[in-house]
Amino acid sequence: MSTVQMLRAWSPWGAVAGLARRQRGWSQVAEIERRGPALHSLSAADLLGRASDLRHRAWRQEPLPRLLPEAYALVGESIRRATGFTLHAVQLLGGITLAEGAIAQMQTGEGKTLTALLPAFLRALSGQGCHVVTVNDYLSQRDAQLASRVLEPLGLTVGWVAPEQDNEQRRQAYLQDVTYGTAREIGFDFLRDRLRQAGSLGHATADPGSAAPVQRDLHFALVDEADNVLIDDAKTPLIIALPRPHDEAAQALFRWSVRAAQSLELSRDFTLEPHGRAAQLTEAGCLRLIRTHKPQPLEGLDLERIYRQVERALAAQHGFQLDHQYVVTDGKLAIVDESTGRIMDGRKWQEGLHQAIEAKERLEFSQSTRTAAKITVQSFFRLYRHLAGMTGTAATAQREFAGDYGLPVARIPTHRPSQRVEYPPRLFATAQAKRQALAEAVEHWLAAGRAVLLGTSSVAASEALAAELRARNITCELLNCRAHDREAAIISEAGQPGRVTIATNMAGRGTDIHVHPEVLQAGGLHVVATEMHASRRIDLQLLGRTARQGEPGSCQFFLSLEDELLETLAPGPARRLRDRGQREASTTGEISARWLPVFRRLQSTLETRHRRQRRDLLKYERQRRKACDQIGFDPWLDVLESQ
């Protein structure tokens, strides 16, 4: 595809849309490419001098669009010298989109890491700092090291923040022109700075360390995997908590509540929200608890406190499953991020839910805490003066990006046409029938010389499928949060001939599988999504692991009426649906593709529900911030609790 064809295919949305903007993008790319060859013969000192001139122009507040062609040409030349790689036109187009404050939808393998260096350099010229937000600490360090090789010859400094760094190391990292880090690290530094600031005023929750903040003002953030950070994690609270010892009554309440919850009857004594993540006692349930015998430490406890903890125990019982939402490792409870399949180190559920699950699993109770400061990911990134992001799956959330963040979405064409083959989905009445059919399909793909990646939604599902394959003497590698220490080794071999890899969402977003030439010759990596997730973007991330950069590859869905997605239905309708499916199933358990709309509707319903929850939370936080501002309280510090 020629540069002109690619630019005409550029399909922005919202504020970036329109013929005039597309034509300007085309002319800017052409101008950058025109300037490039003249830079090849410059010495390192001359290249640095050109970059220094740009920096002085930025300090004089010359508009960024006038600096952009020269800036991007310089970065492109520095990338060529550091890596031997010449940026494609689509990468330049992506960089232009990001500089304008938008979400660039760039497909997997299109070079987002190098593309990010373009707006990072341009925005950092003013000396106000630029944060590049990655999805994990490993990528922060890796990408920062690459950025150093490219940007330091142009006179900019690069740093990264990591969990093990002390305050002074973090302060130095933020003083660099470009700083890499995760949303978690950067967000927590923001909260710690608020606590330090409050401490200088005598606030009770002050950090006893240095009062000097580690961060500068929040000027510009470029967010990688923006839909995961800004949409999927939007409701996630970043919380700094202070320890609060359990008293005897609290521990007794945690244990008693789990036993009491097991004696209650759904509908009569309590109701559940979809997915069972929250419960509410009925009047009959409250009366039953009043009559239930309680141990001596609970005597005199406020009834409302007892009711709330029983509701948390009900949620723990019905909405949270071992090896799905959490795992137990070395006797400790660890939360699993359902969108990435990874353990969320250091995270705990709040308000007694964590202890309710520990009581259910008969674990030792973790330290109880009280909140000192908190902010949601959504609210934090709205504090930046300028924001942009990259992802391969932004289109399905484009209205939310525009409405909640003011960020339009621009679809960036691929450098080479996609060769991905999408096979029709196969549907089954039961999970067992699906696993058996999957095993037969895997044997077929292996015989054809392919490599196969099977994506599952949970640790339990991945282990059940691995057991089915191994029972048929099919060798497979299992990648879930229990095997995180072997992740790099497993992924490095996943594209080899005859390789079968079963993985949770760990093998989705951000995973780069290199496919062996023999496998490419046979048709490439074959990816199977063994369930639909609550968000279509998670499915698309998994399917995007194959057919990268114009390579051959294929993908397919295998679904069953016992998949987790159908658990969002009420028990009655779900049971009737499964019974009807079993009556209509073939002798192998397969059912007609006309059942597919059921899955699509459920997925769409969940996406709408989650979108509404995010919007409601944003509205609440806006109101809370306004109220705190009016009375002179910091909206991110839990002032009332701490006092």
Domains of the chain, by residue range, sit at: 3-239+381-411, 245-367, 419-591
For residue 246, what pLDDT is reported? 66
Query: Alpha-carbon distance 419 to 416, whole Å?
Result: 9
For residue 19, what pLDDT is reported? 52
Q: Which residue has the higher pLDDT, 569 or 178?
A: 178
For residue 448, what pLDDT is reported? 96
The answer to whether the CB of 520 falls within 8 A of the CB of 552 is yes
Q: Kind of pairing, strands 279-281 and 270-272? A: antiparallel
Non-local (6+) Cβ contacts of 110 within 8 A are 88, 90, 91, 94, 412, 414, 415, 549
pLDDT tier, 350 (very low <50, low <70, confident <90, very high otherwise): confident
For residue 22, what pLDDT is reported? 62
Cβ burial of 578 (10 Å; 0-12, 13-18, 19+) is: middle
For residue 635, what pLDDT is reported? 83
State the average pLDDT over residues 54-67.
Answer: 95
The mean of the pLDDT values for the chain is: 89
State the average pLDDT over residues 249-270.
Answer: 93
For residue 301, what pLDDT is reported? 87
State the average pLDDT over residues 12-39.
Answer: 73
For residue 528, what pLDDT is reported? 97
The answer to whether the CB of 375 falls within 8 A of the CB of 618 is no
**Equal fold, 3-239+381-411 vs 419-591:** yes
155: left (phi > 0), else alpha (psi -120 to 50), else beta? Answer: left
Question: Would you give the distance in Å from CA 304 to the centre of its chain?
Answer: 36
Chain segment 192-237, per-residue pLDDT in tens:
999 888 764 334 444 444 678 999 999 999 999 999 999 988 888 8
For residue 643, what pLDDT is reported? 39
Here the contacts of 306-310 (C-beta below 8 Å, separation 24 or greater) are 306/253, 306/257, 307/281, 308/351, 308/352, 309/253, 309/254, 309/257, 309/352, 309/356, 310/257, 310/260, 310/261, 310/264, 310/281
For residue 141, what pLDDT is reported? 92
In CATH, 419-591 is 3.40.50.300:
yes
For residue 431, what pLDDT is reported? 94
Cβ burial of 422 (10 Å; 0-12, 13-18, 19+) is: exposed
pLDDT tier, 434 (very low <50, low <70, confident <90, very high otherwise): very high
For residue 341, what pLDDT is reported? 80
Percent of the chain with pLDDT strictly greater than 70: 93
Q: Which amino acid is at 72?
A: Y
User: Which CATH entry fits the domain spanning 245-367: 3.40.50.2020, 3.40.800.20, 3.30.43.10, 3.90.1440.10?
Assistant: 3.90.1440.10
- pLDDT at residue 2 above 50? no
**Best-predicted range by mean pLDDT among 101-110, 112-121, 497-506?**
112-121
For residue 206, what pLDDT is reported? 43
Residue 326: DSSP 8-state: E
State the average pLDDT over residues 50-62.
Answer: 96
For residue 6, what pLDDT is reported? 38
- pLDDT at residue 310 above 50? yes
Chain segment 365-411, per-residue pLDDT in tens:
987 777 888 899 999 999 999 999 999 999 889 999 999 999 999 99
Summarize the chain as % helix, strand, coil (round to 5).
55, 15, 30
Nearest to 597 by CA among 564, 565, 570: 565
Query: Alpha-carbon distance 192 to 625, whole Å?
Result: 18
Q: Which residue has the higher pLDDT, 183 or 199?
A: 183
For residue 135, what pLDDT is reported? 87
For residue 508, what pLDDT is reported? 64
Nearest to 159 by CA among 142, 182, 178, 187: 178
pTM, to two decimals: 0.85
For residue 383, what pLDDT is reported? 96
For residue 307, what pLDDT is reported? 94
Give domain 3-239+381-411's CATH superfamily. Answer: P-loop containing nucleotide triphosphate hydrolases (3.40.50.300)
